[in-house]
Amino acid sequence: MKTPEKIHCRIETIYALCMIAAIFCIGRSFHNQTLPVETHIVTQSSSSQSQLSQSSSQASGEAVSEETSWQEQNSTAEKPESKAEKTTELQEPKPQEKTEQIQSSKYYDIPLDADIQDAIFRECKTKNVPEDLVIALIGVESHYNSKSISKTNDYGLMQINICHRESLERDLQVTDLLDSKQNIKAGVHMLSWIVNKYSNMNQALMVYNNGEAGAQKLWKQGVYSTPYSRKVIDQMNKIKKEA
């Protein structure tokens, strides 16, 4: 038969084991209950970060789209100005084009091409010589034949004598008197100082045809016009009427 002390000891041992088991069960239950909460917190944290990331990307996307839209608006606003500037540049004629239009606005009904008449207009404007005078003089001198050579060695449209060749080459770089444009350049140059010196048209034409010394001899004889000078003036008046 067991003594009361042994029985009491066993009871205490059983009670202690029960307490330990209870504590263990309570602790495990508490541990199982806290895990979902932590997981939920982590999940919420991850979800918050994802939402923040999406919000950030949406905000940056909207900023980029707004910037792109602003740039497109600016470029769209600038395009009409650039087109207008290009249109203005295309519409405005260049100075050279304006000059050519002025020169080609009136051509004489003579057997000379437009580019030759343009050369006459340019030289006459530069040297302050009436263009109708030059046109009439060419008609009388060479009948508009650029290859005409006289028996007295007068060359080209304005029948410039060979004796002037060296001075013209030195002063004007004229090397070919049978070249129409060079001949016109030389002839208008020679005629300009004569017209500026002698206001009387007959006297000026006498100097061009006979030289200054030859014209002065005729003036001393009381001759102030010749068939040549009168013919050129008549031709010039005819050209003015037909113009």
At 8 the pLDDT is: 61
pLDDT score, position 9: 63
Reply yes or no on whether the pLDDT at 221 is more than 70. yes
Selection from 224, 226, 135, 235 nearest residue 187 by Cα: 135
**Token pair recorded at residue 19:** 């307490």
The SS3 of residue 154 is: strand
Average pLDDT, integer, range 216-230? 97
* Mean pLDDT for the chain overall: 76
In this predicted structure, the answer to whether residue 213 has a pLDDT above a threshold of 80 is yes
**pLDDT for 41-88, tens place per residue?**
333 444 444 443 454 444 444 444 444 444 454 444 444 444 444 444
The tally of CA atoms less than 13 A away on the side-chain side of residue 222 is 0
- pLDDT number for residue 121: 97
Query: Is the confidence at residue 103, as pLDDT, over 60?
Result: no
Domain ranges of the chain: 1-92, 97-242
Task: Tell me what pLDDT residue 201 has.
Answer: 96
How much of the chain, in percent, has pLDDT values that exceed 90?
A: 54
Q: What topology does CATH give the domain 97-242?
A: Lysozyme (1.10.530)
**HEC sequence for 231-243:** HHHHHHHHHHHHC
| pLDDT score recorded for residue 5 | 60
How many angstroms separate the CA atoms of 100 and 118, rounded? Answer: 8
Q: What crossing angle do the helices spanning 201-220 and 131-142 adopt, rounded to 10°? A: 60
Alpha helices (H) along the chain = 4-91, 95-103, 114-127, 131-142, 165-172, 180-197, 201-220, 227-242
> Which three-class secondary structure state does DSSP give residue 161?
strand
Q: What is the pLDDT of residues 130-183, one digit of tens each?
A: 999 999 999 999 999 999 999 999 999 999 999 999 999 999 999 999 999 999
pLDDT at 99: 42
